[in-house]
Amino acid sequence: MRVRSEKRKGNKKRLIVIIIIIIAVILLFPIKFHYKDGGSVEYKSIVYSVFNYHTLEGTRGTTVRLLGFKIFDNTYMLSAEENVSEMY
């Protein structure tokens, strides 16, 4: 009788580990979005998002959000001269 109950405990532990791994993959695996604004890209998952700005108007930089809170932001605007010279 003990052998069967130990096998069931082992199977339950294995099932719990597999479920935790599946949940972690779902929460952490990002989806890539391309924007038609000059090359901006967003990597978005349920837990975090990373936005790389590269717009035609001259916005550049990266923003990182974790659980909806902005934890990193280094976005900046190019001057008119820099933006025109970057196009050529």
Q: pLDDT value at position 84?
A: 63
| Confidence band of 11 (pLDDT split at 50, 70, 90) | confident
Q: Which of 17-21, 67-71, 82-86 has the lowest mean pLDDT?
A: 82-86
* Domain that includes residue 51, residue range: 2-87
How much is the average pLDDT of 47-70? 93
Query: Could you give the CA distance from residue 56 to residue 25 in angstroms, rounded to a whole number?
Result: 34
User: For residue range 13-27, what is the model confidence (pLDDT) as tens digits?
Assistant: 899 999 999 999 888
- What domain count does the chain have? 1
The two three-digit tokens of residue 66, written as one number:
């974790």
Residues in the chain: 88
